[in-house]
Structures are given as C-alpha cells and as structure tokens.
Amino acid sequence: MLAQGVGIVETIVVLLYLLIVVYLGYLGWRRTKSAADYMIAGRQIHPFVMAMSYGATFISTSAIVGFGGVAGMFGMSLLWLTFLNIFVGIFIAFVFLGGPTRRMGHRLDAHTFPELLGQRYQSKFIQVFSGLVIFVCMPLYAAAVLIGGSEFIATKFGVGYELALLVFSVIIAAYVVMGGMKGVMYSDALQGSIMFVGMIVLLIMTYSKLGGVTAAHQELHAMANVPSLFKGIGFKGWVTMPEFGWGQAKYDLWWIVVSTIVLGVGIGVLAQPQLAVRFMTVKSKRELNRAVLVGGIFILIMTGVAFVVGSLSNLYFYKHETVTGKIVAKTENIGVIAKKKRALEARIPCTLLHIDTNNDGVADVDVVEKGHDVVRDGQVVLPASKLMPAAEVKDLGDGMVEVRPRAVAFLRAVVQTKDGWMFNTDSIIPTYVTQALPGWFGLLFLVTLLSAAMSTLSSQFHAVGTSIGRDVYETVTGKHGHGIGVTRLGIIIGIVIAVLLSSYARGGYFIARATAIFFGLCASAFLPSFFGGLFWRRMTKAGSIASILVGFVITAFWLLFIKDEEARAIGLCFKLFEKHSLLLDKPNWAVVDPLVVALPISIIVAVVVSLMSKPPSEEHLRKCFRGV
C-alpha cells in the first residue's frame, strides 16, 4: 500500500487539472465544424501541439508504470526500447513516413489510417477489415493503459479499483466524445507538458538520492550477486544484458526482452493507427520537421527515465529504504503469488509485516520479512529462505520499529489483490515514488500519470470510434457525412469493452504484454501495406489484402497456440490439445513474440503476391503519388 494519503491540497490540484482538461475538450467542441475537424483536426494543427500530442499518445502509463516496472524486474536492457522509440518511433517515422503519409492522406482525402490504406489500394475490404481489427483489438491496449491509471488512483485515493476505473473512463469519454480530435490534441499538449516536467524531476531526484549517476550505476552493478528468481532464465543483473543464445531455458529472458518488449513495441509503433493519423493533422512538412525536435527529447525523457528509474529502484529498496512505524499485524507463512496465469499459480511462502507509518492504526506499508523453503519428500524444491529478502527490524521503543526491507524491486512490490497477496510488477514504480520521494512529488507524479493515461486513452478511443464510424459504417452503408454520430457511439462501446477487460485482467505484467501484443499485431498486419503503399508503386490491392490477412492470422495463431503466457491465459490450446503451448517442450519458442515470425512472412507475402497480380492503374497511381 502507499505511504501517503490524499489531502485537501492534492484533491484540489487534481480537480483543477481535470477542469482544465474538460475545458480544452469544450474548446475542441467549439472549434469543430466538420467531419474533418472531428477526425483529423481540420489538418491545421500547430507543430508543438502535434509533437506533444504524438508523444503523449505514444507514452502512457504502459511505458511509465508497466514497462518501468518490467525494467525494475529485468534491468536496463529495456533501454534498447528507448533507442528504438526515438530512432524508429520519432526520427524514421517523422522524417521518412510522416511527409508521404500526410501528402497521400491529403491527396486521397483520407480521414483515418484504414481509410488511407483502403483508398491507396482502392479496396473497401481493406478499410473495413482494418477498421474492425482496430475496433476489436484496440480496447485490449486501452485496458492496459486503464489498469495503469486506475491502479495508482485506487491506491492513492484509497478508493476501490473498480470505482477508480469507472470515474476515470467517464471523464475521458466526456471530452473525447465532445471535443473530437481537436479536444484530444489540445488536452494532449497540456498533458504532455506535465508528463515532461514530472519525469525530469523524477530522474534528478532519483540520481541525487542514490549518490549521483556514476555511484548509482556502480552500486546497482555490484548488486548482480543478489539472489534472484530470474537467474534460471538468463538474468545477470540490472546493468547487464540477459544471456543470449538459443535452445535452453536460460536464454528465455533475452528473447522475452528483445522479441516481445523491444521489437514488438519498437517496430510496432510505425503502424499504430492512432499515431499515423497524426501525420495527417498538420498542413505541411515543415510542421513535421519541427515536431522531430520536440518528439526526440520528449521520448528520451519519458521512456529513458522510466526504465532507468525502474532499474535503480532496486538499489533504493535493497540498500537505502527504511520504514519507521508500528507493526500492526504479521502474516505468517502465506503463499504470495509470484506468477499468475490460468491453471498455473506459483506462490512463494513468506512472512509479511504490515506497518503503520502515519500512526492511525492502519497498516499502510507491507513488506516481506522472510521466505520459507518449500520442502517435498525431505528435499528443498524452492529455497525461498535464500531467494526472499531478509528484512532487518530494529526496535526503537514505545512499540515503534525501524524496518529495512532489503528487497529487490519485484519482491518489494507486494500488494493485496482479490486472489491474495501478490508480487506485482506494475506496483514497482508507484511504490518507489511514494516510499522514496517527498509527498509533493507524489502529487506531481499523480498528475503525470493521470496525464499519461488520459492522453493515450483519448486517442485510443478516438481511433476506435472513427474505425467503426468512418471505416465500417460509412464504407458499408455508403452514407457519407453521417459517421460522427456512429463514431461517438463507437467510442462509448470501445470504452465499455476496455473497462470490462480492465476489471478482469490484473497482475502478471499484463500492462506491458497487452501493449506489446497490440503493437506487434499492428506491425504484422499493417506495416507491409503501409510501407508498400507509400513507397512502392507496384504494391497491389491483392498483395495488401494477402499481407494483412497473413499477418493477422499468424499473429492470432501464435498467441492462441504457441506463446505460452497468452495461450495459457486464453486457454483454447489446452482445450483442444491438452497442453498450454504446442511448442512448450521446445526451449525458447514459447517466449518468442509473434512479430518475429509474422512480420517477415507478411512482408514476403506482400511482395510475392503484388508481383504476381495486376498493377494498379497509372491514373490512380498518379493521383496517389503526385508530390509524394
């Protein structure tokens, strides 16, 4: 639980922030006169607003809480994702993709990403199918972001998780439904600015608390010998890459980090519908050039800080943290969930201390005191007494104690869920912020997280709405100009689905995995068609359809039958074959991301089918490519 409650000042600041956001939504509504205004902000957005909106949409609580927590677990190897986010997600995207996307979008009068593909290939099927993929799958990514925001609000304000989820969703729905793309982008710019300040302060305070940049890194490096639950899968420390290789379980971590987390998200960003559409909201290439400057700095600070601080939190929890208060309860020898999956729940027997730090009789900090070995037939099968932290408790008199948890980040983030006590990766960053940093920063971080979640969710819901309103309804019925009402209805349906998913899925680093799944799916299904459409005149409608279907089907097959975590959670593979993954007995395959297999095949299919099919007409190509 978090160490500090919410006072009147914090409540006022949050309400003031929400009022400003709703006002910006109202401003967007006032300035929305047409479908183009509602869907692509009238193609007249200022470069600063565009860059901050792109960055704030790109970076959500997934990056800060979800991936920051994964960095707390696995270390700074996640910085490869920061590099790809800047170099691919900003530089390549804006310099090489942004201009052609903007120009072709204007040429073809496209208002959405699926419409751009549909018009380029003269195919209603592509537009409708892409719209449906977004409508069905985007809520999964939105659920990941919602969980990140709601977890923090729930613990911070002491309200139920479901209530936090509901209030949070209603506020976002209000300004997206009302303000359209203009409302979304105006509020994004404000939220991005808040996020930037919050993360800069977080970085400075963390390094200064841990003795400076060099000292902090050296001390964290020296912690590589601390017992870890992840050594068996290749973990070698928080400032070292995991062990690389193929064919043994000890290489699993390298493939988890590189294939799912780094490649899945790092490449997937290029084909994100809610990001690509932003290239169509500016009036010239000049705005995109200027946006590169803002975006490059913004992404470095947002993801770089989250991953570095996530890693360094291990040093704080293990060597620096002390908790002073009264032990109000002790839970002896309870199984704490370390891994939660359908049909597999790994619990580690621990003794927990529940400490009251603000003298109100209620425990607000929970730490592991020690672990207990799991013994079967006289053999120790899990040496938890060595793997778990050994907290030091010093008696201060008057019932007060000083506890040094001496835990690494993953084992420090122990939270109570409806399934029992759990080590929750997604709680690492919130726990670090509330335990290590002063109360006023907790408030700034709260607004930072609210901003990160809301700026991404608003764009996700906007993309969900336009996919059903513009890409499915208008395309199928042919009733052009009536899409805004259906779009608004689509936004509400998307929010309801995301909320339902969010209340079902928590724990097991769901946030990072759900984000990676959506990014990987978009890359495998859309990237060849998007690139081919912009840069290869010979790319045909048949090539695009084949590539989209192959990318989608292989990704779905891999998630349902091969990738252990997801296949186990869905359960279809077990029902059909009575095992959780078809390649579970083959080392490493079950942790490889679908993108690694689906994207290369999707590219090959796009090229081969295009070369075998009739090229598009010269007239259509001239319309698409004049000036591109």
The reply to whether 289 sits near another protein by the rule CB under 8 A is: yes
> What does the alpha-carbon distance between residue 166 and residue 189 come to, in Å, rounded to a whole number?
24
Rank residues 75 and 148 by Cβ distance to another protein and give the closer one: 75
The reply to whether 293 sits near another protein by the rule CB under 8 A is: yes
CB of residue 337 to another protein, shortest distance in Å: 30
The reply to whether 291 sits near another protein by the rule CB under 8 A is: yes
The reply to whether 297 sits near another protein by the rule CB under 8 A is: yes
Binding flags for another protein, 30-69, as an x/- string (CB under 8 A): ----------------------------------------
> What does the alpha-carbon distance between residue 354 and residue 358 come to, in Å, rounded to a whole number?
13
CB of residue 386 to another protein, shortest distance in Å: 25
CB of residue 284 to another protein, shortest distance in Å: 5
Q: Which of 240, 242, 267 lies closest to 255 in space, CA to CA?
A: 242
CB of residue 423 to another protein, shortest distance in Å: 25
The reply to whether 292 sits near another protein by the rule CB under 8 A is: yes
Q: Is 232 exposed, middle or buried (0-12, 13-18, 19+ CB in 10 A)?
A: exposed
> What does the alpha-carbon distance between residue 599 and residue 601 come to, in Å, rounded to a whole number?
5
The reply to whether 340 sits near another protein by the rule CB under 8 A is: no
> What does the alpha-carbon distance between residue 555 and residue 524 come to, in Å, rounded to a whole number?
7
Contacts with another protein in 236-265 (CB under 8 A)?
A: 237, 239-241
Paired tokens of 144: 């990941």
Rank residues 218 and 417 by Cβ distance to another protein and give the closer one: 218
Paired tokens of 249: 């379980």
Rank residues 14 and 81 by Cβ distance to another protein and give the closer one: 81
Number of shown-chain residues binding another protein (CB under 8 A): 48
Between strands 414-417 and 400-404, the pairing is unpaired
> What does the alpha-carbon distance between residue 175 and residue 160 come to, in Å, rounded to a whole number?
24
Binding flags for another protein, 569-608, as an x/- string (CB under 8 A): ----------------------------------------
421 φψ region: left (φ > 0), alpha (ψ -120 to 50), beta (else): beta
CB of residue 301 to another protein, shortest distance in Å: 9
Contacts with another protein in 511-570 (CB under 8 A)?
A: none
Rank residues 313 and 434 by Cβ distance to another protein and give the closer one: 313
Residue 380 DSSP one-character state: E
Determine which residue in the list 39, 55, 67, 107 makes contact with another protein, applying CB under 8 A: 107
Distances (CA, A) of 333 to 129, 351, 353, 368, 370: 52, 5, 11, 10, 9
Rank residues 19 and 213 by Cβ distance to another protein and give the closer one: 213
Between strands 365-371 and 344-356, the pairing is antiparallel
Choices 191-199, 284-292, 469-477, 582-590; region in contact with another protein by CB under 8 A:
284-292
Determine which residue in the list 109, 332, 392, 419 makes contact with another protein, applying CB under 8 A: 109
CB of residue 287 to another protein, shortest distance in Å: 7
Rank residues 153 and 257 by Cβ distance to another protein and give the closer one: 257
> What does the alpha-carbon distance between residue 66 and residue 307 come to, in Å, rounded to a whole number?
10
Choices 170-178, 211-219, 355-363, 551-559; region in contact with another protein by CB under 8 A:
211-219
Rank residues 77 and 540 by Cβ distance to another protein and give the closer one: 77
Q: Which of 53, 87, 50, 54 lies closest to 286 in space, CA to CA?
A: 50
Return the exposure string of 566-598: e unless at least 16 CB atoms fall within 10 Å of the residue's CB, then b. Answer: bbbbbeebeeeeeebbbbeeebbbbbbbbbbbb
CB of residue 94 to another protein, shortest distance in Å: 8
Crossing angle, helix 113-120 and helix 510-535, to 10 degrees? 30
Contacts with another protein in 300-339 (CB under 8 A)?
A: 300, 304
> What does the alpha-carbon distance between residue 287 and residue 363 come to, in Å, rounded to a whole number?
52
> What does the alpha-carbon distance between residue 65 and residue 509 come to, in Å, rounded to a whole number?
10
The reply to whether 627 sits near another protein by the rule CB under 8 A is: yes
Rank residues 280 and 450 by Cβ distance to another protein and give the closer one: 280
Phi, psi of 395 (to 5 degrees): -80, 125
Rank residues 161 and 298 by Cβ distance to another protein and give the closer one: 298
Q: Is 96 exposed, middle or buried (0-12, 13-18, 19+ CB in 10 A)?
A: middle
Choices 16-24, 189-197, 296-304, 355-363; region in contact with another protein by CB under 8 A:
296-304
Paired tokens of 196: 């930037």
CB of residue 183 to another protein, shortest distance in Å: 23
235 φψ region: left (φ > 0), alpha (ψ -120 to 50), beta (else): beta
Contacts with another protein in 63-102 (CB under 8 A)?
A: 75-77, 79-80, 82-83, 86-87, 90-91, 95, 99
Q: Which residue has the tokens 């729930």?
A: 154
Determine which residue in the list 218, 358, 477, 617 makes contact with another protein, applying CB under 8 A: 218
CB of residue 290 to another protein, shortest distance in Å: 6
Q: Which residue has the tokens 């040496």?
A: 383
Determine which residue in the list 7, 200, 208, 221 makes contact with another protein, applying CB under 8 A: 221
Q: Report which secondary-structure segment, H or E, holds 162.
A: helix 161-209
Determine which residue in the list 19, 213, 329, 344 makes contact with another protein, applying CB under 8 A: 213
Rank residues 250 and 283 by Cβ distance to another protein and give the closer one: 283
> What does the alpha-carbon distance between residue 1 and residue 417 come to, in Å, rounded to a whole number?
11
Paired tokens of 613: 């099919």
The reply to whether 103 sits near another protein by the rule CB under 8 A is: yes
Binding stretches for another protein (CB under 8 A)? 75-77, 79-80, 82-83, 86-87, 90-91, 95, 99, 103, 106-109, 213-218, 221, 237, 239-241, 283-297, 299-300, 304, 627
